[in-house]
Amino acid sequence: MSKHFGCDIRTKEPYLTRENYIHSDREFRDWYGEYDSDLFSSIDQRVECAKKEALLNFDLNMAYYNSLEQSSFDSFVDEKLGKNPSFIDVSDLNDYKCPGLYILVLGQYKQIYVGISKNIKKRVQQHWAIYKDLSRLIWGGMLDSKLSIDSFRAMDTTRIFVHLKHDKKNDLWDEEYKLVEFIPDCYSCNRMGGGEPMSQILSGNLFKTADLPRVTEDNINRVLPDYSWKMYCDIVDFRERTIIDRQKHYMTQEELWAKREAEFEERQRQEKEVERKREEHYSLIAEQLKAYGFSAEEDFPDGHYRHDENFNLDAIKNRIDKSISKGYDISIYKGLLSREIAKVYYCLEKGVSAERALQLAKTYKKLSDLRFYFKRIRCLELRAEGFSIRKISEDVGLSEYIVKKILKEEGAL
């Protein structure tokens, strides 16, 4: 029995292959018991047709993965995920039986999947163990459906990153949405937009499709070497996918492809325009910081990392502006990560010296831990002044049980 990320791998199929891609058709037979009698003579013929569609979609996805540059993908993973202080590079999943956001990297296929769970280890193992029924292999149309993360096997996962969070699940939905949008579409394995499902439905962000290669008679030998043009056309034209599209939009197949290409180009143009505006915004913030004597690139290591529409640099500048208005020494922020700046600023607000603030910021990894440290001090101060447990609890915002526990530990009860 082999191990992968510290977990036992019991399956006899540790990698995804074309042969083990279609594992079951039981649900498909249940759902399509009343098959299209005008197109098929039996349910077996319907199942056989669905398998051909699923395998064609599989082959198109493989051709798409092979078209992506490995070096560009590896660079994205290393720079945007590996060096990002928000993510932990996992070596043993047994350390993460906790809630949070997880990222599965499929190195060979140059794909990334983002998910959230109350138990990260258990959820990742579910992905590795689940087999999708034939009815669930295609998500949308066979010419643009992504492969499900559950189709890949355990050993296909080459790296795992986690972002731990102990807040409410709604906050995790928000984090997932931001990260799914942050990852380039060409690398994203998510079939659904991130975030709370009902919000996705209302926003129209439910389905995410892939820009799979367009197959023509001229390029079929390169894109799908195991198919003849006739075989490909028989699979595509027989089913209602292009038939319905043509009837619905009154388009020929060539017109339909032209429409999709135009939509893709427009989407690319919009993405470039958004990126241009973001970079302009970053440059503006960098110029404003320069007036304070800071270099955005040299003084703030994670300043260029973006959360949704904003960079870490926005939060950094905001804290520097507040520090200036309150007369704090802003030179101590040089070389700090954005989360460290937040902790230092919090300490300064509590009246701590700059040197002590830096020490506390390094001692406590999370701002929440630092807040608890100051609440602990406040409990002792109030107790020394003769306040009751109940009054201390109300003042610091902690339960009476926690207050008693703190006072006992410090010998003040």
| pLDDT surpassing 60 at residue 244 | no
Task: Report pLDDT for 256.
Answer: 60
235-246 mean pLDDT: 54
**Average pLDDT over every residue of 123-133:** 91
Share the mean pLDDT of the chain: 85
Query: Between residues 188 and 267, which one has the greater pLDDT?
Result: 188
> In whole angstroms, what separates CA 183 from the centre of its chain?
7
pLDDT recorded at residue 323 = 93
Alpha carbons 22 and 138: distance in angstroms, whole number: 11
Are the beta carbons of 220 and 227 closer than 8 angstroms?
A: yes
- Identify the three-state secondary structure at position 380: helix
Quick one: pLDDT at residue 26? 83
Please compute the mean of the pLDDT values over residues 10-31 and round it to a whole number: 85
Task: Count CB neighbours of 128 within 10 A.
Answer: 22
Helices 367-384/338-349 angle, 10° precision = 10
Phi-psi region of 162 (alpha: psi -120 to 50; beta: other; left: phi over 0): beta
Position with higher pLDDT, 251 vs 67: 67
3-state secondary structure of 296: helix
Q: Pick the more confident residue, 198 or 402.
A: 402
What is the reported pLDDT for 251? Answer: 52
Tokens coding 41: 């003579």
The three-state (H, E, C) secondary structure of 55-78, written as one string: HHHHHHHHHHHHHCCHHHHHHHHH
Question: Per-residue pLDDT averaged across 62-84, rounded?
Answer: 92
Report the alpha-carbon distance of residue 376 to residue 393 in Å, rounded: 11
pLDDT band at 356 (very low <50, low <70, confident <90, very high): very high
* CA-based nearest residue to 62, from 106, 93, 6: 106
Pairing of β 111-117 and β 159-164:
unpaired
- Backbone dihedral angles phi then psi of residue 179, each to the nearest 5 degrees: -75, -40
Number of Cβ within a 10 Å radius of residue 255? 13
Distance CA 340, CA 138 (A): 45
DSSP annotation of 147: P
Q: Please tell me the predicted confidence (pLDDT) of residue 206.
A: 59
Q: What is the average pLDDT across 269-292?
A: 90
Residue 42: pLDDT band by 50, 70, 90 thresholds? confident
Compute the Cα dihedral for 364, 369, 375, 380 and give only its sign. Answer: negative
Which pLDDT tens digit goes with each residue over 92-112? 999 999 989 999 999 999 999
So what's the pLDDT on residue 288? 92
**Range with lowest mean pLDDT among 114-128, 226-240, 353-367:** 226-240
Q: Vertex 4, ends 94 and 147: CA angle to 5°?
A: 105
pLDDT band at 240; cut points 50, 70, 90: very low
Please tell me which residue, 56 or 41, carries the higher pLDDT value: 56
Answer yes or no: is pLDDT of 255 > 60.
yes
What does DSSP assign to residue 307?
A: E
Q: Please give the average per-residue pLDDT across 261-282, as a whole number.
A: 87
User: Is the confidence at residue 249, as pLDDT, over 50?
Assistant: no
- Say if residues 100 and 123 touch (Cβ distance below 8 Å): no
Are 151 and 228 in contact by the 8 Å Cβ rule? The answer is no
Per-residue pLDDT at 34 exceeds 90: no
Average pLDDT over residues 209-219: 86
Q: Stretch 318-344: mean pLDDT, rounded?
A: 92
